[in-house]
Structure 1
């Protein structure tokens, strides 16, 4: 089978979107002859990795509109324009390449965003869209805690999603998809609204077998102090302010709250910790390299992840791999990863009730070592059974076979 994959973000040895792109195309090449469209910016990283570890059946096609090969980090507006133009370029390049190769399946991999089109859906082949996310949003009652900057961000984000969904090419992408994979229930609802015919929930998050094995090596830390940890950029929608309020309300004696990450909210969060009288128990580590971050996670007992609109939530899967339970809000990607067997999900109705629920979960896990251990073991089992990239690769391979069989009927 000849598969064309669109992976705008695709880079080895990274997490997030780039890691999703890279691992998906590597898995595709295990089963099918695979051609991958990606940015010229990624070329040096990809070719260096393939020189060290060649992958048969994998062919990369690098391009950028007008030769723009910048990283665009910190320039969201320009990045989104670049991405849209890149998708248009992809269609014309694919149409020409298709005359020579004759693709069987087309698969859009990254960006993982439902409100931007993939023009490859216009090709005369079965089209797999996703996994895509992006419909997740912070419930309106939580906006009251956001800074002015945070409220502006949420307003612009909601506007961009609304405008994006009205793009006729987004609707066309949805209607022409043989299968549309959604990262969350929220996005699945929007894909159905856009008239996607066959919508399935499937997280974009995954870990390699090597990563899983490394995570499982972390020993259980000493019983005291019971240590909670939050990991991620310190942005308003990451909900760390809710974690601080909940940790303060829990009033635990022998406990600590570690916060790994940096961002524009850090000063406000440090001030909040002082106001709540817990500054002596809260440690802001700042942004750390991945290896150090994982080590800090291994030294902790529980992940506290009160994010308000993650489509993924990679850290939840990583913490399950370490063998620790997660406390999260019942929203977005974390809500699809965390189950009653691996952690505690708290209803996100309004800030006060969310804080109360988070505090109760904190107390529950702080006082029950056996429960923490049981949830941690179940989390590791769930990672091995669902989030192993080899398992996900097999799923994609079978999905391609099913889609092609459906076409031939």
Structure 2
């Protein structure tokens, strides 16, 4: 089967959307003829990896909006607008590629935002969407955690409603052979608008490189040995790692409130990896709650460094 992957975010040796956009075609290449359209800033990293690993059964095509209007590359701001604008040149390129290669299937795998699915549904071929997310809303009983961002919450809800009520959007999602949703909230939001319900499925948007998973080892110890070990382990520090962009919607302030309820004598540590507009506020909050001995901030780490944590 000849498959085109529509991957705005795509990079080897990465997590999150980048890993998702990379690993779908990476693993499918062994059984199918794989093509990928992604943005041009990923080209050096992707081409270097393909060369180093001697991978010849993945074909990449790079496109982007004009440099003069690409404010995201210049300032690092306006990522949502950049993602939206990128859909236009991407569709133009995919349309030309489809005319040349006649893809059996086009899979929109990234972005995972349900509001940004592009225009490839207009092409005459099989079509898969997702896994998509983004329709989650803060529950009423947790609204205190969004009080400083109420305007953004309302704008997000408005954009969601405008998106799902758009006839063109409804046509796009109903053209899909399958539409995968990453969480129950997005599933429940979109499901009523899907005419053929069996096409709508839940699928986590988690990308895992199988080579990074260490299989469990069978030590052959008796139950008495494991019981002795569990007693010794009580003196060890249990460490939790969180990774992501520090924005209010991630619920990190709620996490700090939860940690504030735990006995300070318990041996645990929480490591927060990443950056974002909430970082300094969270650091100050952890100091106010006297959690410094249990929580640490690493800042943004590379994928390689994350593997060593």
Which of 266, 269, 287 is residue 254 of structure 1 equivalent to? Answer: 266
Q: Does structure 2 conserve the Cα–Cα contact (< 8 Å) formed by 1:33 and 1:58?
A: yes
| Aligned partner of 1:238 among 237, 245, 250 | 250
The offset of 1:126, in angstroms, is 1.3
Aligned pair in 2 of structure 1 residues 281, 43: CA closer, same or farther (>3 Å)? closer
- Looking at structure 2, the residues matched to 279 and 67 of structure 1 have their Cα atoms a distance apart, in angstroms, of 44
Q: Secondary structure at the match of 1:31?
A: coil
Change (3 A) 1:212 1:142: same
> 2:275 aligned with 1:265, yes or no?
no
**Aligned-residue CA RMSD (Å):** 2.9
TM-score by length of 2: 0.82
Summarize the Cα distance change of 1:275–1:118 in structure 2 as closer, same or farther, 3 Å threshold: same
SS of residue paired to 2:26: helix
In 1, Cα distance between equivalents of 2:206 and 2:216 = 15
User: Which sections of structure 2, spanning at least 5 residues, go unmatched?
Assistant: 218-229
- Show the counterpart of 2:40: 40
Give the 3 Å change call, closer, same or farther, for CA 119–295 of structure 1 in structure 2. Answer: same
**Per the alignment, do residues 35 and 287 of structure 1 end up closer, same or farther by CA in structure 2, a change over 3 Å counting?**
closer
Residue number in structure 1 paired with 2:225: none
1:99 maps to 99
What is the CA deviation profile of residues 246-304 of structure 1, one whole-angstrom value per residue up to 9, with x for unaligned ones? 222232523233232343333333343344344444444444444544444xxxxxxxx
C-alpha offsets along residues 95-131 of structure 1, whole Å, 9 cap, x if unaligned?
Answer: 3332322211111110011122331111111111111
| 1:214–1:288 distance in 2 versus 1, CA, 3 Å | farther
Verify: 1:205 aligned to 2:206, yes or no. Answer: yes
Matched position secondary structure for 1:107: strand
Q: Secondary structure at the match of 1:118?
A: coil
Give the alignment's TM-score, normalised by structure 1. 0.63
Alpha-carbon shift at residue 171 of structure 1 (Å): 1.4
Q: Which residue does the alignment assign to 1:321?
A: none
In the alignment, the residues of structure 2 paired with residue 81 and residue 254 of structure 1 have an alpha-carbon distance, to the nearest angstrom, of: 45
Q: Tell me, yes or no, if structure 1 residue 162 matches structure 2 residue 173.
A: no
Q: Does the residue aligned with 2:214 lie in a helix, a strand or coil?
A: helix
Q: Please name the residue that 2:235 is paired with.
A: 224
**CA offset digits 1:197-242 (Å, max 9, x no partner):** 31011112121122112999xxx99533543434233322222222
Contact 1:174 1:196 in 2 (8 A): no
> Which whole-Å CA distance do the structure 2 matches of 1:223 and 1:291 have between them?
30
| Correspondence for 2:221 | none
Distance in 1 (alpha carbons) for counterparts of 2:277 and 2:97: 45
SS at match of 2:285: helix
Work out whether 1:176 is the aligned partner of 2:196: no
* Counterparts of 1:215 and 1:206, CA distance in 2: 20
Whole-angstrom CA distance in 2 between matches of 1:196 and 1:61: 33
Structure 1 residues 104 and 295 mapped into 2: Cα distance closer, same or farther (>3 Å)? closer
CA contact (8 A) 1:41 1:70 kept: no
Counterpart of 1:122 in structure 2 is 122
Which consecutive residues of structure 1, in runs of 5 or more, have no partner in the other structure?
A: 297-409
2:66 aligned counterpart, secondary structure: helix
Q: Which residue of 1 aligns with 2:10?
A: 10
Task: Compute the displacement of 1:53 (Å).
Answer: 1.6
In 2, distance between residues paired with 1:53 and 1:224? Answer: 43
CA-to-aligned-CA distance 1:157-187 (integer Å, 9 cap, x gap): 2233223323433212111011001111111
CA distance in 2, matches of 1:2, 1:118: 20
Does the 8 A contact of 2:239 with 2:270 survive in 1? yes
